[in-house]
Amino acid sequence: MSAKFITVEGLDGAGKTTHLEALRSALVAHGVPVHATREPGGTPFGEALREMMLHPVQRLHPESETLLMFAARREHLDKVIRPALDAGTWVLCDRFTDASFAYQASGSGVAWDKVEALERWVQDGLQPDLTLYFDVDPAVARIRLEGAKAPDRFESEREAFHAAVRAGYLRRAQAHPGRIRIVDASQIMSVVQKQVEEIAESLWRKTQSASPDKS
The domain 5-208 having CATH identifier 3.90.1200.10: the answer here is no
- pLDDT string in tens for the chain (215-residue length): 589 999 999 998 889 989 999 999 999 999 999 999 999 999 999 999 988 887 756 678 999 999 999 999 999 999 999 999 999 999 999 999 999 999 999 999 999 999 999 999 999 999 999 999 999 999 888 887 776 665 666 766 678 999 999 999 999 999 999 999 999 999 998 999 999 989 888 888 888 877 655 43
Domain boundaries defined on the chain:
5-208
Q: Give DSSP secondary structure letters for the chain.
A: ----EEEEEE-TTS-HHHHHHHHHHHHHHTT--EEEEESS-SSHHHHHHHHHHT-TT----HHHHHHHHHHHHHHHIIIIIHHHHHTT-EEEEES-HHHIIIIIIIIT---HHHHHHHHHHHHTT---SEEEEEE--HHHHHHHHTTTS---TTTTS-HHHHHHHHHHHHHHHHH-TTTEEEEETTS-HHHHHHHHHHHHHHHHHHHHHHSPP--
pTM: 0.91
Contacts of 214 (CB under 8 A, 6+ apart): none
